[in-house]
C-alpha cells in the first residue's frame, strides 16, 4: 500500500443531484491540488447525480472511489481529513459537530438558493470555507485549515425553557 498516512477527502451531496460538484472534484486540477496538500484518497457520495467519477487505485495518484447513498455518512465523515459538501444544513452541521474541516460548495443551479445564506454566514464566522464548483480548485490551493474556528453546537434548551414559561409550567 505504501507508507503514506491515509488522508481521505469525503465529498457528499446528500440526497440531491449535484453533478457540477462531482465533476469539479473529479477534475485533474482539483485532484492535483488535493494531492499537493497531502491527501491520499477521495471518496465521493454522489447521491442522485448522473456524472460518475472515474475510480483510481494507482499508488502514486489520488485514490478515487464513489457510491450513491448510505444509511449514515457519519462514519465516512469521521474517517475523513477533509469534507467537501453541498450546502444542505444537515450535512453542514453533521460535519461541524464531528469537528472536521469543511468546504461547502453552493449549488448555483438551485432556483431558490437560501442554502447559500447559511454557508456564507458560517464562512463569515470562520467555521468553514465556502466555494462554488468553478472556484473549488483555488479554494483548495489557498486554504489554511488552521484558520478555521471550531463550531460550538447549539441545543434546544433556551427555546424549550421559553416555551415552558409561556405555557405556565413551573421553572425546573
Binding site for another protein (CB under 8 A): 88-90, 93, 97, 111, 114-115, 117-118, 120-121, 153-170, 172
d(CA 48, CA 162): 40
Looking at beta carbons only, is 28 or 124 nearer to another protein?
A: 124
Nearer to another protein, 16 or 81 (CB): 16
Closer to another protein by Cβ: residue 3 or 168: 168
Name 63's bridge partners.
Answer: 41
- How many angstroms separate the first and last alpha carbons of the chain? 57
Nearest approach in angstroms of CB 127 to another protein is 12
Provide the minimum distance between the beta carbon of 158 and another protein in the complex, in angstroms, as a whole number.
4
| Least Å from the CB of residue 58 to another protein | 38
Provide the b/e sequence for 15-43 (b: ≥16 CB within 10 Å). ebbbbbbbebbbeeebbebbeeeebbbbb
Amino acid at each position: 500500500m505504501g507508507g503514506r498516512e491515509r488522508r481521505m477527502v469525503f465529498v457528499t451531496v446528500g440526497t440531491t443531484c449535484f453533478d457540477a460538484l462531482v465533476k469539479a472534484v473529479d477534475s485533474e486540477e482539483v485532484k492535483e491540488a488535493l494531492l499537493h496538500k497531502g491527501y491520499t484518497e477521495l471518496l465521493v457520495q454522489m447521491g442522485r447525480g448522473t456524472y460518475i467519477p472515474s475510480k483510481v487505485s494507482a499508488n502514486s495518484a489520488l485514490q478515487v472511489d464513489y457510491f450513491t447513498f448510505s444509511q449514515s455518512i457519519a462514519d465516512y465523515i469521521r474517517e475523513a481529513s477533509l469534507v467537501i459538501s453541498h450546502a444542505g444544513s444537515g450535512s453542514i452541521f453533521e460535519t461541524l459537530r464531528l469537528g472536521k474541516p469543511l468546504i461547502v460548495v453552493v449549488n448555483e443551479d438551485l432556483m431558490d438558493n437560501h442554502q447559500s445564506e447559511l454557508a456564507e454566514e458560517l464562512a463569515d464566522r470562520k467555521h468553514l470555507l465556502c466555494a462554488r464548483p468553478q472556484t473549488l480548485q483555488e479554494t483548495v490551493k489557498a486554504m489554511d485549515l488552521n484558520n478555521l474556528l471550531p463550531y460550538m453546537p447549539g441545543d434546544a434548551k433556551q427555546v424549550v425553557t421559553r416555551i415552558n414559561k409561556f405555557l405556565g409550567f413551573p421553572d425546573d
